[in-house]
Structure 1
Amino acid sequence: MQQVRHLLEGKGKAVFAVAPEASVYDAVRQMAEKNVGALVVMQGDALVGIVSERDYARKVILKDRSSRDTPVAEIMTASVITVSVDATVDECMRLCTDGRLRHLPVIDGEAMVGIVSIGDLVKAVISEQKETISQLESYITG
């Protein structure tokens, strides 16, 4: 079973972050520029939240708030579920499914080292299933 560390080796460890006092507009602009659906919210080296397109849609747009005047801290999810680099893809899938999450920040000790998305996890599961099918086909025909 693949671990999160393997996913990060393949996709890279880039972490896109925003400060809690930044405007929601700046956060959404950065998400668009980086082509990501969420940013971690960092106060210095400390993870203090995560903000996503879903937060923007539900907490700004639907409440008719100004994205330029609203700080990220007011709409972010503060109780962030994180995973370690040793977590398995299955464990992460379970967390995403049970918590209806799309992004999991990855922690190694105290350091933020990456983020995995539900898309990353699905790709890993599909890859593993293809490998299993290939091995089974070889066994059957071999």
Structure 2
Amino acid sequence: MKTVAELLKLKDVQHRVPHTVRPDQKVVEVIMLMADKNIGAVPVVQDGKVVGIVSERDYVRKMELKGRASVGTPVSDIMTHDVKTVNSNATVDQCMNIMTDLRLRHLPVVDDGQLVGLLSIGDLVKEAIAEQGRLIEKMQQYIRGESY
């Protein structure tokens, strides 16, 4: 199974380094960014460190359902503060376990205190499917008596 570093290298150039926001930015700015870039979550960074993450789920639960205005509300009011991160040496399996156990859809990748990527559950599912395909091909080669 691949490492996070290998998986990040496979991502489109435009998606390798994630978009970020500051805690003092307004929620409306984050929602516009997510809509414009077609992304579901954005790491919140202050002084180069990940201090949180804000997702569509955060917006719905902490803004829409409470009738709050996104124009005047800072991101820090709705972001998830206790953000779970992994480093680029983690495996895809480890990330899938973390995301499944904690019911996460996005996982920031941090090396030496710096944000280097953002994994989505979709990234991990695509890799799991590809890994299964590789394994099936190896099994078929073995059954046919071919070297693999």
Aligned twin of 1:3: 3
Does residue 129 (structure 1) correspond to residue 145 (structure 2)? The answer is: no
Choose 38-47 or 74-83, whichever is displaced more: 38-47
Secondary structure of 1:83's match?
coil
Secondary structure of 1:84's match?
coil
Aligned twin of 2:108: 105
Deviation per CA, 1:58-86: give whole Å up to 9, x if none.
00000000011111000000101000000
Secondary structure of 1:90's match?
helix
Aligned residues: 142
- Deviation, 1:110, is 1.6
Provide the rounded CA distance (Å) in 1 between the counterparts of 2:129 and 2:119: 16
Does residue 141 (structure 1) correspond to residue 144 (structure 2)? The answer is: yes
Aligned twin of 1:31: 34
Moved over 3 A (4+): none
Provide the rounded CA distance (Å) in 2 between the counterparts of 1:113 and 1:46: 11
Q: Aligned partner of 1:3: which letter?
A: T
Secondary structure of 2:66's match?
coil
Secondary structure of 1:85's match?
coil
Q: Aligned partner of 1:97: which letter?
A: T
Secondary structure of 1:95's match?
helix
Q: Aligned partner of 1:22: which letter?
A: Q
Q: Aligned partner of 1:44: which letter?
A: D
Aligned twin of 1:120: 123
Q: Which runs of 5+ in 1 are unaligned?
A: none
- Deviation, 1:44, is 2.4
Secondary structure of 2:45's match?
strand
Deviation per CA, 1:83-115: give whole Å up to 9, x if none.
000000000000000000000100111211011
Deviation per CA, 1:29-49: give whole Å up to 9, x if none.
001111110000011211110
Provide the rounded CA distance (Å) in 2 between the counterparts of 1:87 and 1:14: 17
State percent identity of aligned pairs: 51
TM-score of the pair, normalised by structure 1: 0.97
Map 1:69-80 to 2 at 5 A.
Answer: 69-80=72-83
TM-score of the pair, normalised by structure 2: 0.93
Q: CA RMSD in A?
A: 0.8
Q: Which runs of 5+ in 2 are unaligned?
A: none
